[in-house]
């Protein structure tokens, strides 16, 4: 039976009890719905997709329409809706959505939706969140959602004098900017300040750049900021006598930061004959490598973004903007380095911190157009863009910890092996139980190649 059209998706919670082996999971999940939520869903990975979805529904009160959306039913992205989102649409493109479990953020349990194609990311983040859970979970904070819009001015005869003239008329500039988004101002946001930077030289000559500092509230803010920059550009030309060229936001959102802190007891790191102290030392050496070497830091930070990007995609936000801001921020000292910091506290615990720009929204854009994005936000139950950003940075720190632990213990390839084998098995035409059997035998033989998968599949079929 195709999951996409599974009639059980409109059934009550009790429908999950068709599988006696997992009925206990569902009863416990229903109890949690009435009391404190618990993202520590033991055995979650052993369930089938329908059973997992029933547990997620019980955790956070999703309704049957939400379930149909997540299973690609009538609530998924239609071609008609897609045609209104971007240009030249010919179809839609699906990616897997998984749920990272075990997350506890500021004392609240969260199930974190992740849309991603790479194996091990969801499992790694879930495992690392369990380690962090042993130390009290993630603790987060964030700055106000301030973004910068830039207006580039050239052919300014006296740039220093022009700078003073712009600042003297700041109130007028801010009033004009805020007239473009009265709803944002009504929510307590809007343009807050004006700054001016002078660049005496560039490949094209000197320029003056005016900044609008905008509080975006719960929006990502790109459209509002760009509209403000367009509106004030003629006034800035009048003030300076120059010509305005670019009028656009900056994705280096270094005033819109999200922070997460995690403590991992050394005892929680014990694994496969390795003591917790041995694993902790390996993790610290992995961090030290990234802290000093840009070649390693690039892959290290990719591991952080492995956790963040899937949440950004799941919630309909702009992962390209977040990526750009993150990597620029990693270079702010003049050398590209690790976004995260790992230390040992007085008790010997591992302590990880991550602070980085995170411009996300829960209103506007694809977050209000794509049905799956709306369902993902409902599942997260976030009340502000700042709260979403803080969950994203927790997912990034968890993914970072998972990758370093794997590298310190058995190497990253070992963790990927099983899922990679499944992908190859499916690529050569295996279906259903044959996928698992072909993958199992390739892993046992340590020969995970398409040619071997074809041979094994032929053996099984005959």
- Catalytic positions, please? 118, 302, 318, 416
Question: H-helix or E-strand containing 103?
Answer: strand 97-105
Q: Is 137 helix (H, G, I), strand (E, B) or coil?
A: coil
Q: Where are the beta strands (DSSP E) in 170-231?
A: 190-199, 207-215
Helix axes 159-168, 222-240, angle to 10 degrees: 120
Question: Phi/psi of residue 61, each to 5°?
Answer: 70, 30
CB atoms within 10 A of CB 76: 18
- The beta-strand segments (E) located in 129-189 are 139-142, 146-154
Residue 133 CA, distance from chain mean position: 20
Residues 23 and 25: their CA atoms lie apart, in Å, by: 5
First-to-last CA distance in the chain? 25
Contact (Cβ atoms closer than 8 angstroms) between residue 228 and residue 181: yes
Q: What is the DSSP string of 392-458?
A: HHHHHHHHHHHHHHHHHHT-HHHHHHHHHHHHHHHHTT--THHHHHHHHHHHHHT---HHHHHHHHH
With a CB cutoff of 8 Å and minimum separation 6, the contacts of 323 are 305, 309
Q: What angle do CA 224, 226, 232 make, to 5 degrees?
A: 100
| Secondary structure of residue 161 in the 3-state scheme | helix
Q: How many CB atoms lie within 10 A of CB 204?
A: 8
């Amino acid at each position: 039976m195709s999951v996409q059209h599974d009639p059980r998706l409109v059934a009550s919670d009790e429908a999950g009890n068709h599988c006696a082996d997992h009925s206990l999971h569902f009863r416990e999940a229903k109890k949690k719905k009435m009391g404190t939520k618990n993202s520590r869903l033991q055995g979650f990975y052993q369930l089938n997709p329908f059973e997992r979805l029933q547990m997620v529904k019980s955790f956070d009160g999703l309704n049957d329409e939400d379930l149909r959306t997540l299973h690609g039913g009538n609530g998924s992205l239609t071609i008609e809706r897609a045609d209104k989102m971007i240009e030249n649409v010919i179809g839609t493109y699906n990616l897997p959505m998984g749920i990272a479990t075990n997350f506890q953020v500021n004392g609240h349990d969260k199930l974190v939706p992740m849309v991603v194609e790479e194996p091990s990311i969801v499992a790694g983040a879930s495992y690392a969140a369990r380690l962090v859970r042993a130390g009290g979970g993630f603790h987060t904070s964030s700055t106000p959602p301030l973004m910068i819009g830039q207006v580039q001015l050239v052919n300014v005869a006296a740039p220093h004098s022009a700078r003073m003239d712009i600042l003297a008329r700041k109130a007028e500039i801010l009033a004009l900017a805020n007239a473009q988004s009265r709803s944002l101002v009504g929510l307590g946001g809007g343009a807050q300040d004006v700054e001016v930077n002078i660049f005496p030289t560039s490949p094209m000559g000197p320029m003056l750049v005016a900044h609008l500092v905008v509080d975006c509230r719960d929006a990502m803010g790109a459209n509002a900021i760009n509209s403000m920059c367009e509106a004030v550009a003629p006034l800035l030309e009048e003030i300076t006598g120059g010509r305005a060229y670019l009028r656009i936001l900056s994705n280096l959102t270094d005033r819109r930061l999200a922070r997460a802190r995690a403590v991992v007891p050394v005892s929680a790191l014990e694994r496969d004959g390795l003591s917790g102290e041995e694993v902790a030392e390996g993790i610290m050496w992995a961090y030290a490598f990234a802290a000093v070497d840009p070649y390693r830091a690039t892959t290290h930070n990719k591991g952080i973004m492995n956790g963040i990007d899937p949440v950004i995609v799941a919630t309909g936000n702009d992962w390209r903007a977040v990526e750009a801001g993150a990597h620029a921020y990693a270079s702010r000292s003049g050398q590209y380095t690790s976004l995260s910091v790992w230390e040992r506290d007085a008790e010997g615990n591992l302590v990880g911190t991550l602070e980085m720009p995170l411009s996300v929204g829960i209103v506007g854009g694809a977050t209000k157009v794509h049905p799956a994005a709306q369902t993902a936000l409902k599942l997260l139950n976030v009340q502000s863009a700042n709260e979403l950003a803080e969950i994203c940075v927790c997912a990034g720190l968890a993914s970072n910890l998972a990758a370093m632990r794997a590298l310190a213990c058995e190497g990253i390839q070992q963790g990927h092996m099983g899922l990679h084998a499944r992908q190859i098995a499916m690529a050569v035409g295996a279906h259903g139980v044959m996928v698992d059997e072909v993958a199992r035998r390739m892993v046992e033989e340590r020969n995970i190649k398409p040619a071997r998968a074809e041979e094994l599949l032929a053996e099984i079929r005959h």
